[in-house]
Amino acid sequence: MTVYQNLIGGVWQNSESSRRVPNLNPADSDDVVGEVPLSTRAEAEAACAAAAEAFKAWRAVPAPKRGDLVTQAARLMTERTEQIARALTREEGKLLAESYGELGKTIKIIEYAATEGRRLNGATIPLELANNFGYTIRSPLGVCALITPWNFPVALPSWKIAPALVSGNTVVVKPSTLSPETGRLVVECFVDAGLPPGVVNMIYGSGSEVGATLIDHPATRAVSFTGSNEVGNDVYVRAARRGIRAQCEMGGKNPVIVMEDANLDLAVAGTIQGAFGSTGQRCTATSRVVIMDQVADAFLEKLVAAISTWQVGNGLREDVHMGPCIDANQMEKVLGHIASAHADGAELLYGGTRLTDGDLAKGYFVAPTIFDRVQPTMRIAREEVFGPVLAVLRVDSFDQAMTVANDVEYGLTSSIYTGNLNYIFRYVDEIQTGMTHVNSPTLGGEAQMPFGGMKASAVGPREQGSETFDFYTETKAVYIDYTGHKREGRMY
């Protein structure tokens, strides 16, 4: 039985903790992939200390050279794609094609970050003072704690590790205990690329112990977190108490708006992909359709016809369209949301049950589920389900569609289906999400675009990409006085 090891100061080592949780294949809980240690606080502290020690030398490595090492990690990930994709499907449950997709995107993200090592520019700024030169440089922060969820265990750690390292930071990665194997395979790509010991560390454990310890450690200067709103809000407060940087990418309740003139076939295809692809276990998943009543029946007829062709099963099988929920807890949570939708009076159109036929009984499978006539006040319209459940809300006007779409506490992503230019431009202005799509699903994001909900600090392709690097670096303002004499007058 594989017991996952922590990586501290360049040495893979067993945790001294005897507390462990099994890593189960969610499509077949008889298949125990490994055991994850719940490491101790002392081990988390040791990982931060190792990262702090390694930072002293790593920060002095020129940024283009740091980028070259990160490029090498992308090469190794390319070579190891099949191994990592299979491990991902086995422990997370997504389809093999989806795993390959995640790997492909991740490699682009790493390559993009790596080349930024050659563009970590500062600025030269004209000064009022004669014979003085003003400029800025970007300095690394120090140790960054990188805390990630289970659903994109290749992309999300890489999205954090690569820019953090190129910026000159050292990192401690805390993957989710639900997808530990892929976490290790990802970190191995960086380590095997030739990074000095201690530049990347990884520690397994619970969020409340290990995660919190990483944030509280005196050497930690920034935390990049991706996960649920509940945890993310705590992480933010915890980081603020120490005055360190925090970046929290959290949940979604993402709407698709379908207007009366929409191409319904296109809208159906995009909604199915958005709602049920990856079993709805994506922060960018479509969980609400806000639709003009006059086209709702036609849309839903096509939607149900399309989803009823889907096979649910083990993601390693080629004929399968949708895999399982990640674990028993998540499955129960999804079933709880379905029960609450029933209780609140939503109309079940499709699915709504756990699937237990044959081999499915060994896994955590829930049928793709569609509820019609959902009201904005119902729980199913307001809370993130993070599973294959779609709520349909009928509206009578564009204005009502916008009100309903914006009436949630989440603001990650969204989409509209229409050919009407007025609708499109008004929608883009009024929708309160950080990412939005027109005539395509709520999914998708490219490495060089800002991620949803993050502030867009500047326009233009170069500046957009550098947003990530704004987080992982701090700006130092430098004044060089070449007058050679004492400055007259008061100084402010």
Task: Decide if residue 159 touches ligand NAD (CB under 6 A).
Answer: no
| Rg of the chain in Å (alpha carbons) | 24
Q: Tell me the one-letter amino acid at 402.
A: M
Catalytic residue list contains 249: yes
From 9-17, 245-253, 258-266, 396-404, give the range in contact with ligand NAD by CB under 6 A.
Answer: 245-253
Task: Decide if residue 250 touches ligand NAD (CB under 6 A).
Answer: yes
* C-alpha closest to that of 205 among 368, 7, 395, 360: 7
- Paired with 8 in beta bridges are 11
Return d(Cα 230, Cα 234) in angstroms, integer.
7
Task: Decide if residue 91 touches ligand NAD (CB under 6 A).
Answer: no
- The token pair that represents 89 in the structure block: 């499907």
- The token pair that represents 447 in the structure block: 């490495």
Question: Out of 176, 182, 414, 433, which residue is the one contacting ligand NAD (CB under 6 A)?
Answer: 176
Task: Decide if residue 24 touches ligand NAD (CB under 6 A).
Answer: no
- Taking the CB of residue 463, how many other CB atoms lie within 10 A of it? 13
CB of 102 to ligand NAD, least distance (A): 11
Site string for ligand NAD, 412-431 (x = CB under 6 A): x-------------------
Of these residues, 45, 102, 181, 249, which one is catalytic? 249
Residue keyed to tokens 């044959």 = 358
Task: Decide if residue 228 touches ligand NAD (CB under 6 A).
Answer: yes
Return d(Cα 313, Cα 364) in angstroms, integer.
10
Residue keyed to tokens 């609708």 = 423
In the bound state with ligand NAD, the residue whose beta carbon lies nearer, of 117 and 441, is: 441
In the bound state with ligand NAD, the residue whose beta carbon lies nearer, of 229 and 403, is: 229
Catalytic residue list contains 43: no
Count, residues in the chain: 492
- The token pair that represents 109 in the structure block: 């993200």
CB of 229 to ligand NAD, least distance (A): 6
From 22-30, 222-230, 315-323, 426-434, give the range in contact with ligand NAD by CB under 6 A.
Answer: 222-230
From 54-62, 223-231, 348-356, 468-476, give the range in contact with ligand NAD by CB under 6 A.
Answer: 223-231
* C-alpha closest to that of 236 among 176, 147, 164: 147
* Binding-site size, ligand NAD (CB under 6 A): 26
Q: Are 88 and 154 in contact (CB under 8 A)?
A: yes
* C-alpha closest to that of 36 among 4, 77, 75, 67: 4
Task: Decide if residue 23 touches ligand NAD (CB under 6 A).
Answer: no
The number of angstroms, rounded, from the C-alpha of 245 to the middle of its chain's C-alpha atoms is 18
Return d(Cα 220, Cα 164) in angstroms, integer.
13
- The token pair that represents 291 in the structure block: 């639709």
Q: Can you tell me whether residue 114 is helix, strand or coil?
A: helix
Task: Decide if residue 207 touches ligand NAD (CB under 6 A).
Answer: yes
Task: Decide if residue 212 touches ligand NAD (CB under 6 A).
Answer: yes
CB of 159 to ligand NAD, least distance (A): 9
Element of type H or E holding 427: helix 421-430
- The token pair that represents 22 in the structure block: 């099994």
In the bound state with ligand NAD, the residue whose beta carbon lies nearer, of 376 and 453, is: 453
CB of 412 to ligand NAD, least distance (A): 6
Find the residue with minimal CB distance to ligand NAD: 207
Return d(Cα 223, Cα 122) in angstroms, integer.
23
Site string for ligand NAD, 372-401 (x = CB under 6 A): ------------x-x---------------
Task: Decide if residue 280 touches ligand NAD (CB under 6 A).
Answer: no
From 243-251, 262-270, 426-434, 472-480, give the range in contact with ligand NAD by CB under 6 A.
Answer: 243-251
Task: Decide if residue 249 touches ligand NAD (CB under 6 A).
Answer: yes
Task: Decide if residue 231 touches ligand NAD (CB under 6 A).
Answer: yes
> What are the helix (H) ranges across 144-200?
155-166, 180-192
Task: Decide if residue 208 touches ligand NAD (CB under 6 A).
Answer: yes
CB of 443 to ligand NAD, least distance (A): 11
Strands of 263-352 (E only): list them.
286-292, 347-350
Q: Any idea what DSSP says for residue 488?
A: P
Task: Decide if residue 151 touches ligand NAD (CB under 6 A).
Answer: yes
Of these residues, 48, 189, 248, 283, which one is catalytic? 283
Q: How many helices (H) and strands (E) does the chain have?
A: 15, 19
Return d(Cα 483, Cα 492) in angstroms, integer.
19
From 84-92, 160-168, 246-254, 303-311, give the range in contact with ligand NAD by CB under 6 A.
Answer: 246-254
In the bound state with ligand NAD, the residue whose beta carbon lies nearer, of 89 and 148, is: 148
* C-alpha closest to that of 466 among 53, 55, 136: 136
Question: Out of 26, 183, 251, 270, which residue is the one contacting ligand NAD (CB under 6 A)?
Answer: 251
Task: Decide if residue 226 touches ligand NAD (CB under 6 A).
Answer: yes
Q: Which residues does the annotation mark as catalytic?
A: 249, 283
Tell me which residues touch ligand NAD (CB under 6 A): 147-152, 174, 176, 207-208, 211-212, 226-228, 231, 234-235, 249-252, 283, 384, 386, 412
